[in-house]
Amino acid sequence: AHYEEGKERLRTICIISFFLSLGKAALNTRECKITKNLDDFCNAINCITAFMPLFRTRSEISNVRTSQEHHSVGLVPTMGALHQGHLALIREAHAQNEHVWVTIFVNPTQFNNNDDLAKYPNMLADDIKAIEEIDANIHIFAPAVTEMYPDELIAKKHEFHGFDKLMEGLDRPGHFDGVITIVKKIFELLRPSRAYFGEKDFQQLQIIKNWVNTEHVPTLIVPYPIIREANGLAMSSRNERLSKEARAAAGFIYRALLQSKSNCQTTTEIERCIHDAFAKHPDFKLLYVHCLEEEDFKKVEHLADAKKPRLFVATAIEGVRLIDNIALK
């Protein structure tokens, strides 16, 4: 809607400019009418520039991105339905860079469940408004699927050095191939100095960091802590699909993580504590629980010997998949 309104205002500016050129001779008379026209013209320009940072095609980006070549550029890739976690990433990027790009694109190739893809929330107008409230000069790239996949809708296979063999990679075959396929396309297009990712999707974060290091991509990956709802539930766009009752009850997930960290001395005890917590909430299906080293995802056997152990869980309720994690040290 913003995009179409912007085009209409640009058309209005062109019309105003045309009539101003016809009235050029009248400038010598210094009539107040000309001054009013000039004021209207400037006001129209100010209105249209508020909408100009919204881009729909790759070709639109080229000249703008070239003009930023010697400046720091922060990127926040999203699939839209922005929440406070996303907005925290955008504010962080805004504080650390001269220019900020936010991508809004629901990437089909990272979904192995078509029903999940179909139900993913689409709130583009609200997303644009939320970004503009941070800074109207933030650039927003919201392409169509055919823009990012002009030839065929397929993810390229990648080598993840074992990072994809468990948790989300095991439960969602091909998911991370889709993630890296679209991240690669966006990075090549926008060439960011820094890219910002939330720690809620910690496995995704590590896979992207590993890919950047392996492929020598000149972008710094900046992690950001999980932002939580008042009851402790990790913020996620998928939370919008939960009933009010399920969303309120889901606060137990974070409490279970914290309790297991405080009360358990071994990984076996931690996993038992998580299973016990979920047994008290049978509507939530526990999909997995793992204690892993952050850097290489190796299983933690002894907490005392672990360097950076992290506890991961995934659950499903009402057909919605929820994930969470906390550092154990």
Catalytic positions are: 86
Task: Give the residue carrying structure tokens 């729909």.
Answer: 56
Distance of alpha carbon 273 from alpha carbon 319, whole angstroms: 24
Are 205 and 223 in contact, with CB atoms under 8 Å apart?
Answer: yes
Q: List all residues 6 or more positions away from 3 whose beta carbon is below 8 Å from its beta carbon.
A: 51, 54, 56
Burial 237-273 (b: 16+ CB within 10 A, else e): bbbebbeeebbebbebbbebbebbbeebeebeebbeb
Task: Give the residue carrying structure tokens 């962080």.
Answer: 92
Angle at 280 between CA 279 and CA 282, to 5 degrees: 65
Distance of alpha carbon 283 from alpha carbon 252, whole angstroms: 12
Distance of alpha carbon 287 from alpha carbon 248, whole angstroms: 20
